[in-house]
Amino acid sequence: MSWLHADGAAIGTALDLRADVVVVGSGPAGAATAYHLAGAGADVVVLEEGPLVAAEDLPEDAFTAMARLYRDMGASLTRGRSPLPFVQGRMVGGTSVVNGAIFWRLPRDVYDEWVREDPVLADALPWDHLATLHDRVEADLGIVPTDPAIAGRNNDLLAAGAEALGLDHRPIRRNVTGCRGLARCLQGCPVGAKQAMDRTYLPRAAAKGARVLANVRVDAIEAGARAEGVRATARGGGAVRVRAPVVVLAASAVHTPVLLLRSGIRHGPVGEGFQCHPGISMVGRFPEPVRMWHGATQGHEVTGLRKEGIKFEALAYDLPVLAARLPGVGATLRERLGDADRFASWAAAIRAKARGRVRPGRRGARVHFDLLPDDLQRFRRAARVMGEMMLAAGAEVVWPEIHGFAEEVSDRAVLARLETEGPLDARAWTAIVTHMFGTCRLGSDPATSVVRPDFRHHAVPGLYVADSSVFPTNTGVNPQTSILVLATRCAEHIAETL
């Protein structure tokens, strides 16, 4: 695309650049930082490990998308008693290109938790100013509730199930313009309706002079008495060096701490305090066609249990993924697939209390994480309520996907037992992690945090962290908006020093 400064696949010789600011990562945190700093007149370079992919080149099926657009084919794993896959995009625009386009403001109760634990944050992150930044982001990215005309039956059924159980629910607010309800968000929108970073903040930053390089992997931060830049390797084999007095890390709560540790920058609890939102899902069969591959990928949510640490969302995917999710083999699976158009799929995101750690490994990051008994109790409750919503919405049968529990359920009394008798062994559950936080915590105490309340590293002047690794805790809701807002706040602090 014309706004891309360079593609590392074509860089075969050494490249030496100079800038005011170098940003590592092009997802929401990196894109927002670059956009606002370029707008403030800074000379900005953004380095992204993955490729830039045009909308018309995005794969149609989920498995091809995972192979081309996701890190480790979407199968990166935590280490622990029960390994969990965690999902990250690896392309220009980061995970914003392949997520469900869900927008949630940082909940006030979560913000209040942060301030209670570290009161200095009230001055560094004033609530009223964060609200103003939320307004700005929503205006920039066209955030609107899902249009009922394109929601699709999968989302409508979730609304019906929540209504039947008396649970608060609403259309999901999404960053889309002209959505056609193709249910392709997780593969990347083929018509460019999703207002992801590769269609919004990055080209806008480039229009203000920022240089965005794709297919360039950052290997190390260069720092002496202060940050001096980064060393990187282009996919074409060339060594890339960017000299800059300000380095902003926006490589995610997994890869930012790894880059710090590999660069010998070990101050504070770097890599510690990893938190996430593990998610479980359920499939139900309905008597009438659902065709979950028609409509918004994730267009409706149930918020009634959010303060218990549980949030439900509709979730659509294509037939190959559905086949992998259904229980049974041979003739049984073949028979179930004959009803493919009658299945609905919903998910529950859990605000887990467990904390883990991230360390460099020989082939990337090693994430160590084990769920706590409280987290598994939330799994139990989420699975019960999700199944009850499906049955209340008219499902004939649901598949809980829990080892050691009934394979299929059509009786709410059986689901009720799940909350008290379901397994408390993490290995019995099928779960996946999508949102990650906390490994370079922001705070006033250098003994318990990695960056200051203004996002500056406690020990290395000129080094900043802008992604969700700075969050003091997980949020219990989709964090894309919070990441954009806090990264914008980080950019404001940096602009004051330039």
Looking at the structure, do residues 13 and 151 belong to the same domain, yes or no? no
Q: What is the pLDDT of residue 339?
A: 86
Beta-ladder partners of 70 = 89
Tell me what pLDDT residue 9 has.
97
Indicate if 132 and 248 belong to the same structural domain: yes
Q: Is residue 333 part of a domain?
A: yes
Q: Residue 302 corresponds to which tokens in the numbers above? A: 């149930």
| 102/155 same-domain check | no
* pLDDT value at residue 424: 93
Residues 6+ apart with CB under 8 A from 432: 84, 85, 86, 87, 278, 279
Which has the closest alpha carbon to 1: 198, 197, 201? 198
Residue 424 and residue 333 in one domain: yes
Residues in the chain where the model's pLDDT stays below 70: 1
- Among residues 403, 435, 457, 493, the one annotated as catalytic is 435
User: Are residues 362 and 225 both part of a single domain?
Assistant: no
pLDDT of residue 163: 98
Q: What confidence score (pLDDT) does residue 324 get? A: 77
Of 100, 50, 49, 29, which is closest to residue 434 (Cα–Cα)? Answer: 100
Of the candidates 115, 71, 130, the residue with the CA atom closest to the CA atom of residue 97? 71
Is residue 1 domain-resident?
no
Q: Are 172 and 39 within one domain?
A: no
In a domain, 468, yes or no: yes
| CATH number of the domain residue 282 falls in | 3.30.410
Residue 72 lies in a domain: no
- Exposure string of 483-493, with b = 16+ CB inside 10 Å and e = fewer, is bbbbbbbbbbb
Q: Which of 377, 408, 433 is at the close of a domain?
A: 433
407 and 451 assigned to the same domain: no
Residue 374 forms part of a structural domain = yes
Reported as a single tens digit per residue, the pLDDT across 76-89 is 899 999 999 998 99
The three-state DSSP-derived secondary structure of the chain is: CCCCCEEHHHCCCCEEEECCEEEECCCHHHHHHHHHHHHCCCCEEEECCCCCCCHHHCCCCHHHHHHHHEHHHHCEEEECCCCCEECCECCCCHHHHCCCCECCCCCHHHHHHHHHHCCCHHHHCCHHHHHHHHHHHHHHHCEEECCHHHHCHHHHHHHHHHHHHCCCEEECEEEECCCCCECCHHHCCCCCCECCCCCCHHHHHHHCCCEEEECEEEEEEEECCCEEEEEEEECCCCEEEEECCEEEECCHHHHHHHHHHHCCCCCCCCCEEEEEEEEEEEEEECCCCCCCCCECCCCEEECCCHHHCEEEEECCCCHHHHHHHCCCCHHHHHHHHCCHHHEEEEEEEECCCCCEEEEEECCEEEEECCCCHHHHHHHHHHHHHHHHHHHHCCCCEEECCECCCCCCECCHHHHHHHHHHCCCCHHHECCEEEEEECCCCECCCCCCCCECCCCEECCCCCEEECCHHHCCCCCCCCCHHHHHHHHHHHHHHHHHHC
Together in a domain, 166 and 107: no
pLDDT in tens, 350-370: 999 999 999 999 888 999 999
Six-digit token pair at 26? 């092009």
Answer with the one of 415, 433, 451 that is the final residue of a domain. 433
User: CB of 268 within 8 A of CB of 449?
Assistant: yes
Domain that holds residue 306: 145-185+274-433
How buried is 217 (Cβ within 10 angstroms: 0-12 exposed, 13-18 middle, 19+ buried)?
middle
Helix orientation angle between 412-421 and 373-392, rounded to the nearest 10 degrees: 170
For the four alpha carbons of 213, 219, 222 and 223, in that order, the dihedral sign comes to: positive
For residue 23, tell me if it sits in a domain.
Answer: yes
Position 449 scores a pLDDT of: 98
The answer to whether 246 touches 455, Cβ cutoff 8 Å, is: no
Same domain membership, residue 220 and residue 100: yes
Specify if 267 maps to a domain: yes
435 among known catalytic residues: yes
Last residue of a domain, one of 391, 418, 433: 433
Query: What's the total number of domains in the chain?
Result: 2
286 shares its domain with 374: yes
Q: Which two tokens stand for residue 243?
A: 């000299």
Q: How many CB atoms lie within 10 A of CB 116?
A: 10
Question: Of 262, 220, 210, which is closest to residue 240 (Cα–Cα)?
Answer: 220
150 within a domain of the structure (yes/no): yes
- Taken in order 364, 365, 371, 376, the sign of the CA dihedral is negative
Whether residues 48 and 196 fall in one domain:
yes
CATH of the domain at 264: 3.50.50.60
Residues 232 and 289 in one domain: no
pLDDT digits (tens, 9 = 90+) for 193-235: 999 999 999 999 999 999 999 999 999 999 999 999 999 999 9
The pLDDT value given to residue 137 = 97
